[in-house]
Each structure stands twice: as structure tokens, then as C-alpha cells.
């Protein structure tokens, strides 16, 4: 018992929280229509809970054509909400339990046809 007490004390480690996420791709989407829902699976790789927030940037084709960040929608269990360019709370994620965020994109009817990319940032705090 004493030995295990010594071992426990010697190896006491700092508690951590972490974040990992799977990538998402919507494929091709026609102007005036929406993509199907795509999921990113977020996992807290640490051993203590983390607060998760999300934000995004405009879609851009790198040639001057843009589409606002709010054309992307996300949700977990409730109705989809438009992405914002400032961080908004998603949920508290427990360690090692995959947490799914559903994403979709809605293309305006007169959007210039091009290849667009977007950066979404997931933020963890603990």
C-alpha cells in the first residue's frame, strides 16, 4: 500500500484537455441549393472537460470572389445556426467521447461559380 502511495505521488500528472477533429468536405453544390449535412467528429483528447467554441471565416476562391461565413450552418442537437466570425459556445465536451457537429453550406442563387474554401476554427478551453 505504501509502495503504491509512493508511485501515485511520484507520477501525479497535470490534468489536460485537448481537441481533435475530423475534416469535412461538401463536394459540389449548385447555386441556390444547400449541401447535405456533413459531420465533423470532435474529441477531447485530454482527461478533463473542455469548453468548445466555433467560428469561421468567409468562403473565398482566391480570385476575389467571396461568400460570407454565415452561409455555413452548424448544429449539434438543436436547429442549425449560421456560423459567425466570432467565437460562440458549442458545448462542454467530456474526455474521450466523440462529439459530432453537423455542418452544411447554402449557396446563394447568383453566386459566382468557382472553387471556394473556408477556414473554420474550433477552440477548446479548460
Binding site for other proteins (CB under 8 A): 2-3, 5-6, 9-10, 12-31, 40, 43, 45-46, 48, 103, 107, 111, 113-126
The nearer residue to other proteins, 50 or 79, going by C-beta atoms, is 50
Minimum distance between the CB of residue 77 and other proteins, rounded to whole angstroms? 20
Q: Label residues 69-105 b or e (16+ Cβ within 10 Å = b).
A: bebbbbeeeeebeebeeeeeebeebebeeebebbbbb
In terms of CB distance, is 77 or 105 closer to other proteins? 105
- Closest by CA to 93, choosing from 85, 103, 101, is 101
How many whole angstroms separate alpha carbon 59 and alpha carbon 74?
15
Beta bridge partners of 57: none
Shortest distance in whole angstroms from residue 79 CB to other proteins: 21
Supply the minimum distance, in Å, between the C-beta of residue 10 and other proteins.
6
Q: Which of 78, 84, 64, 74 is nearest to 104 (CA)?
A: 74
Task: Work out how close the CB of 28 gets to other proteins at its nearest, in angstroms, rounded to a whole number.
Answer: 5
C-alpha cell at 116: 471556394
Amino acid at each position: 500500500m505504501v509502495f503504491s502511495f509512493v508511485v501515485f505521488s511520484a507520477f501525479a500528472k497535470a490534468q489536460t484537455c485537448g481537441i481533435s477533429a475530423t475534416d469535412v468536405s461538401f463536394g459540389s453544390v449548385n447555386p441556390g441549393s444547400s449541401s447535405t449535412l456533413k459531420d465533423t467528429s470532435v474529441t477531447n483528447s485530454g482527461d478533463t472537460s473542455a469548453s468548445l467554441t466555433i467560428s469561421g471565416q468567409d468562403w473565398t476562391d482566391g480570385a476575389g470572389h467571396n461568400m460570407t461565413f454565415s452561409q455555413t450552418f452548424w448544429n449539434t442537437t438543436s436547429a442549425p445556426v449560421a456560423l459567425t466570425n466570432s467565437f460562440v459556445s458549442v458545448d462542454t465536451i467530456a474526455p474521450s467521447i466523440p462529439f459530432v457537429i453537423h455542418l452544411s453550406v447554402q449557396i446563394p442563387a447568383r453566386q459566382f461559380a468557382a472553387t471556394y474554401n473556408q477556414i473554420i476554427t474550433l477552440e477548446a478551453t479548460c
